[in-house]
Amino acid sequence: MSPSPSPSPADLAHPAAIAGGEVDENGVLAVEPGPARTLLVWDAPNMDMSLGSLLGARPTSAFRPRFDAVGRWLLGLAGPEGVAEATVFTNVVPGSTEIVRPWVEALRNVGFAVFAKPKTTEDSDVDDDMLAHIQARHAEGDLAHVVVASGDGRAFREPLEALVEQGIRVTVIGFREYAAFAVASEVVAFLDLEEIEGVFREPLPRVSLDTLPAGGAWLQPLRSLRSLLER
């Protein structure tokens, strides 16, 4: 048997040679995918707006989601052999830094990565940033499950359906009242945020046309009547 040819200096310099991987004839590194990744992308502006609309007022601490509970749920979804990545995307309005900082630090201490972007114009939202992050993880080859916390069907419906067509599992979490695109979807799974154990300290006071009590109920205005004078 003839001896194996010695590797060339170019082969030795390639990361694949160091890692024990293989390089094809074009010098392209063949990378083995890592453990299956479950990625959570939390659309903070949309979720905050939906929760405020649901409550008819600014949420108090009793009705704010507990991200430690969301994190435990995500870990269970990923399983012991999988990788769970939790991310929150948010805008920061100029002058609100001191108000937002404790919330951001609390998220980071729980284990969430936070992408923060200044809200300087109507177009400086984080939709494109969330989609870009999902695509970047997909390109790495180990993305198995995408979880999106948002009711924004305009931004997410088509991209998420495209991921399903490529074999990626997709779940939307949010509020059924404001995530119609996912509730009605035949390919994207939906889970109401309140169904995740421990996310809310108190049951949400949810009253909608679908859940009216026999004696009727008041549906509070979503904005002040005086806002009519500001238009």
pLDDT at 14: 39
Side chain identity, residue 39: L
Q: Read off the pLDDT band of 212 (50, 70, 90).
A: confident
Please check whether residue 188 is in contact with residue 164, taking contact to mean a CB–CB distance below 8 angstroms: yes
Of 13-22, 117-126, 204-213, where does mean pLDDT reach its minimum?
13-22
In this prediction the pTM is 0.78
Of 2-6, 86-90, 129-133, 196-200, where does mean pLDDT reach its minimum?
2-6
Average pLDDT, the chain: 86
Name beta bridge partners: 88: 42, 114
- DSSP state at residue 227: G
67-118 confidence digits (pLDDT tens): 999 999 999 999 999 999 999 999 999 999 999 999 999 999 999 999 999 9
Please check whether residue 85 is in contact with residue 137, taking contact to mean a CB–CB distance below 8 angstroms: yes
10-57 confidence digits (pLDDT tens): 343 333 333 444 555 655 555 566 799 999 999 999 999 999 988 878
d(CA 73, CA 79): 10
Q: Tokens 């499950």 label which residue?
A: 145
Angle at the Cα of 179 from the Cα atoms of 188 and 134, rounded to 5 degrees: 55
Ordered strands of the 37-43 beta sheet? 113-118, 83-92, 37-43, 143-149, 169-174, 189-192
> What's the average model confidence in pLDDT over 187-193?
97
Q: Which of 32, 48, 39 is nearest to 75 (CA)?
A: 39
Side chain identity, residue 179: A
Which residue ranges form the domains of the chain, and what is each CATH number? 37-202 (3.40.50.1010)
Q: How many CB atoms lie within 10 A of CB 178?
A: 20
123 has a pLDDT exceeding 70: yes
Name beta bridge partners: 83: 37
pLDDT at 54: 86
Q: Is 67 in a helix, a strand, or coil? A: helix
Which residues does 202 contact at the CB level (< 8 Å), separation at least 6? 62, 63
pLDDT at 25: 62
Q: If 0-12 CB within 10 Å is exposed, 13-18 middle and 19+ buried, where does residue 55 land?
A: middle
pLDDT at 15: 39
Q: Which is higher by pLDDT, 218 or 187? A: 187
d(CA 155, CA 161): 12
